[in-house]
Structures are given as C-alpha cells and as structure tokens.
Amino acid sequence: MYSFETQLRPRYAETDQMGYVYYGNYPAYYEVARNESMRDLGTTYSEMERLGVMLPVRDMHIEYKRAARYDELLTIKMWLVEMPAAKLLHKYEIYNEQDELINKGTTTLVFVDSKTMKPCRCPEWFAERLRPYFEK
C-alpha cells in the first residue's frame, strides 16, 4: 500500500461566514494530496499528460465529521490501497491541529488515452514506481 501525507492551511477565501471551510473545498484538498503524492513518486500530472495519459475523476465520496476552520493547519493523509490497473482508488483522511478526524473520503480516477479519449491501462512506467509499495 502506498501512503502519503501533506499539510495545508485553509485560506480566508475558502471559508464561509462562520469561519468554517466551505464544504465544496474538500475535493480541492484531496487534489492537493494527489498532486503532491505524484511528486513524491517522482513525477507530475503534467508529465503524465505530456506522455498521453489523463486521469479524470470517475467518482468521489465525502464524509464530513467536523468543521475545519480558517488558518488551521490540516493534515491530509492519502492511501492507494490497491495496485492500479485501469483506475486509481484513493482514500483520504483529513485531521485538524488537535489530531481529530474531520473528513474522510475516496476518489476513483480512470486512466484515459488522451488521443482516443478511451480508458486505458496504467502506464508501465508509473506502475513501476508504485510496485515496491505493493510487493510483499
């Protein structure tokens, strides 16, 4: 299993009148974790796109536990629990500064050939980067 962790502080513009992070911003926080995890694996989404593969989100599930607040340091934990074939299943947990679980969710992204716009298998070069995390 591959795991990754990153942190961020919600900006004022991401909050509502009560100072809570607006619920629609959590998918963007998941995306921050995905993007930074790609860097951790030695690549980027833009590199994958240059090589002809796109990764649109197929589905997403979000469960809100507690409110995040403006300028509070959030820790986003992300896991890939299975070796990707034609899709990437991400699991997320977001914690506040008190280490309380405030949000959890999942996203499924699908590998798509940018020329045909049809689903394709995980590129071998990317699978090679993930394989060590899934070998026993």
Whole-number pLDDT of residue 21: 96
Lookup result for tokens 């689903």: 119
- In this structure, what token pair is assigned to residue 27? 């998918």
- Please compute the mean of the pLDDT values over residues 5-33 and round it to a whole number: 96
Q: In what order do the strands lie in the sheet with 118-119?
A: 53-54, 112-113, 118-119
Residue 70, domain extent: 2-134
Band the pLDDT of 20: cuts 50, 70, 90: very high
Q: Is the pLDDT of residue 136 over 90?
A: no
Alpha carbon 86 to chain centroid distance?
Answer: 17
C-alpha triplet 62, 23, 1: angle, nearest 5° = 35
Q: What is the mean pLDDT of the chain?
A: 96
Whole-number pLDDT of residue 43: 95
Backbone angles phi, psi at 85, to 5 degrees: -115, -75
Whole-number pLDDT of residue 22: 96
Q: Is the pLDDT of residue 66 over 90?
A: yes
Query: Which residues are part of the catalytic machinery?
Result: 16
Whole-number pLDDT of residue 100: 98
CATH number at residue 45: 3.10.129.10
Quick one: which of 71, 77, 86, 75 has its CA closest to 118?
A: 86
pTM: 0.94
Band the pLDDT of 91: cuts 50, 70, 90: very high
Lookup result for tokens 């060590």: 132
102-125 pLDDT per residue, tens: 999 999 999 999 999 999 999 999
- In this structure, what token pair is assigned to residue 48? 């994958």
Band the pLDDT of 134: cuts 50, 70, 90: very high
Number of domains in the chain: 1
